[in-house]
Each structure stands twice: as C-alpha cells, then as structure tokens.
Amino acid sequence: SDKADVQISLFDLSGREVKKILTTRQLQGKQKVKMDAASIQPGIYLVVLQVNDQLTSEKLIIY
C-alpha cells in the first residue's frame, strides 16, 4: 500500500497562510477532510493541497 505525504493549507489572497488544515501521511485513494471555518473571516481564500512534491490549489469562498 502506497502512502504519500499530504499537507492541506488555507491561504489568503496576499499569500499568508491562515490555517494548516492537515499534515499527515495518507494511503493512496479518496479521502475526506473536514475543516472548522468558524474562526476564519469571510473572504476568498486558496486551499493548497500538496501531495509529496505536487501542488494543486482551489479557490474557496467563506461567507
């Protein structure tokens, strides 16, 4: 079973890390992660997923 280093972070649009959501080693496959956004100000953010050396990001709007 392959494991990967996984990190998920939330950044504001100025590039400042607002919250580190997850840092772990995960098995390959689909995973679900819940984030408590109660302490985060409404706005537009980037969720950055890093798996080993690969990065991907998605826009997240918090109301």
> Could you report the per-residue pLDDT of 19-43, keeping only the tens digit for each?
999 999 999 889 999 999 999 999 9
For residue 56, pLDDT over 90 is answered with: yes
The residue with greater pLDDT, 29 or 52, is 52
Whether the predicted model's global pTM rises above the 0.75 cut: yes
For domain 3-62, which architecture applies? Answer: Sandwich (2.60)
Distance CA 24, CA 22 (A): 6
Tell me: pLDDT of 48 over 80.
yes
Domain boundaries, the chain: 3-62
**pLDDT band, very low/low/confident/very high, at 63 (cuts 50, 70, 90):** very high
Sorted by sequence, the CB contacts under 8 Å of residue 61 that are 6+ apart come out as 43, 44, 45
